[in-house]
Amino acid sequence: MLESTPEFLRCVRCGSKLELDAFKIKKEIEEGILECKKCKLVFPIIEKIPILWDDFSNYLSNRKILSGKIYQLGITEKMKSFLKSSLSKIVFVNDRTSLEERWSKIYQNSRHSKFYSLIKNNLESLPKSNLVLEHGCSIGIVTSFLADSNKMVFGIDKSFTALRFAKEINKNNLDYIVADSLSPIFAKLQFNLVIALNILELVEPLELLKHVSKQISSGYFVISDPYDFDRGANSVRKPLDESQLRTNLEKFGFKISTKTKNPSHIPWNLKLNPRTTLNYKVDLIIGKK
């Protein structure tokens, strides 16, 4: 984690500033704790990645294999002690570790998909920004690209595994946080550009639009999706189609760009394995306030 990042972050529960206790610093904060003195919530920084979850033990309860790996990643005695205490409170529910590892590799193998080139071309046409945020950034393909031309860029994702891949590329204006996209980790901070690519099946669409609308008072929102909501028990409660998405963006105060007023069908090809490719047709919308 960059030494400047704590200035931007807030407690996920009460919105208070967080105090940093750094255990190990080299070029970045490699290990430490962010603490809310008001709520007494503690958020660990492990392998340069802060995990801003309301309940760290609860986060690991869905990631049994990862919990063991995280303990092994702990360097200092302080972190080992914190992790040991956290692990002792866990009642494991299921294990998303293998799933998150698999998708991190799929995104790595698919990073040269034409989809990303088209997204980057559209992003290059927008004004340069002081503050940029990508929701669901995964391994940081687009986030890292944006850091080359914008002042400060953040990426958030639920997958610690994905962000470990993202952090392999170090830039002094780019940082990543494990967090829920709907969590208020930036409190009332305003961004000039917010991006959410292909995550509406993972986050309640209307709640995401409402949340992002509060993060932009003047700037751009770039959102794309293949509208693949057929996920059984894991489906969101209120999916939106291409028309509903545009209508709701306008309700939240965004003006849709002329070139994205009509639905698009951008190819997004994901290499699941050497013999299998998942082919999506993705809709892109650029909104401005």
Domain boundaries, the chain: 5-95, 101-288
**Residue for token digits 């494991």?**
92
Which of these, 67, 69, 161, lies nearest to 108 by C-alpha position?
Answer: 161
Beta sheet of 42-46, edge-to-edge order? 19-25, 29-35, 42-46, 49-50
Two structure tokens written together for 196 = 């959410």
The pLDDT assigned to 230 comes to 85
Interaxial angle between packed helices 77-88 and 64-73, expressed in degrees from 0 to 180 and rounded to the nearest 10: 160
Q: Average model confidence (pLDDT) for the chain?
A: 96
From the options 3.30.70.370, 3.40.50.970, 2.120.10.30, 3.40.50.150, give the CATH code of 101-288: 3.40.50.150
Tens of pLDDT, residue by residue over 60-79, are 999 999 999 999 999 999 99
The pLDDT assigned to 203 comes to 95
The pLDDT assigned to 235 comes to 82
The rounded distance, in Å, linking the Cα atoms of 260 and 287 is 9
Long-range contacts of 57-63 (CB under 8 A, 24+ apart): 57/86, 57/87, 57/89, 57/90, 59/178, 60/86, 60/87, 60/90, 61/90, 61/91, 61/92, 61/93, 62/92, 62/93, 62/94, 62/95, 62/96, 63/95, 63/96, 63/97, 63/100, 63/160
Bridge partners (DSSP) listed for residue 285: 223
Tens of pLDDT, residue by residue over 157-167, are 999 999 999 99
pLDDT band at 199 (very low <50, low <70, confident <90, very high): very high
Contacts of 215 (CB under 8 A, 6+ apart): 133, 186, 189, 190, 191, 194
Q: Does the predicted model carry a pTM greater than 0.85?
A: yes
The pLDDT assigned to 234 comes to 75
Tens of pLDDT, residue by residue over 177-197, are 999 999 999 999 999 999 999
Percent of all residues in the chain with a pLDDT value above 70, rounded to a whole number: 99
Tens of pLDDT, residue by residue over 19-70, are 999 999 999 999 999 999 999 999 999 999 999 999 999 999 999 999 999 9
Tens of pLDDT, residue by residue over 74-107, are 999 999 999 999 999 999 998 999 999 999 999 9
